[in-house]
Amino acid sequence: MITADGGGSNGYRLRLWKFELQGLVDELGFPVTVCHLPPGTSKWNKIEHRLFSFITQNWRGKPLITHQVIVSLIAATTTTGLRVRSRIDDRPYPKGRRISDAQLALVHLEPHVFHGEWNYTIHPTGSL
């Protein structure tokens, strides 16, 4: 199960998010359930509560002059119960990708009864 914010790059309205998630589900070979937090409630995100405040404390007063400095400070963060790993992802991510209606139709998305636009399961290709 993935819990995701209601907006941003993994928002519940985004076709590209669902299309790429279908690729991950197909690679894993099992269904993945997604539950988006309602709009305006990203503060409920447990990772934000358990991690981001510690990152902020860890780099307080340090100049964030390069990506490597930032990644190193994040990786050096310690919390109770979480192990932090960080690395630079320098792969290219093209901007402005559009997912057509035909491509979206390839996503095996099963909306849940309660707010199916926010809560759904994506099944591997060929399993429905």
pLDDT tens string 66-75? 999 999 998 8
Contact 6, 42 (CB under 8 A): yes
Q: Using 70 as the pLDDT threshold, list the residues of the chain that sit under it.
A: 42-48, 127-128
Contact 99, 15 (CB under 8 A): yes
Question: 């994040």: which residue's tokens?
Answer: 74
Q: What pLDDT, on a 0 to 100 scale, did the predictor assign at position 128?
A: 55
Q: What pLDDT, on a 0 to 100 scale, did the predictor assign at position 127?
A: 62
Q: Which two tokens stand for residue 45?
A: 């995100």
| 116 Rama class: left (phi>0) / alpha (psi -120 to 50) / beta | alpha
Q: What are phi and psi of 122, to 5 degrees?
A: -105, 125
Contact 26, 124 (CB under 8 A): yes
Q: Which residues contact 93 (CB under 8 A, 6 or more apart)?
A: none
Q: What pLDDT, on a 0 to 100 scale, did the predictor assign at position 77?
A: 87
Q: What pLDDT, on a 0 to 100 scale, did the predictor assign at position 31?
A: 97
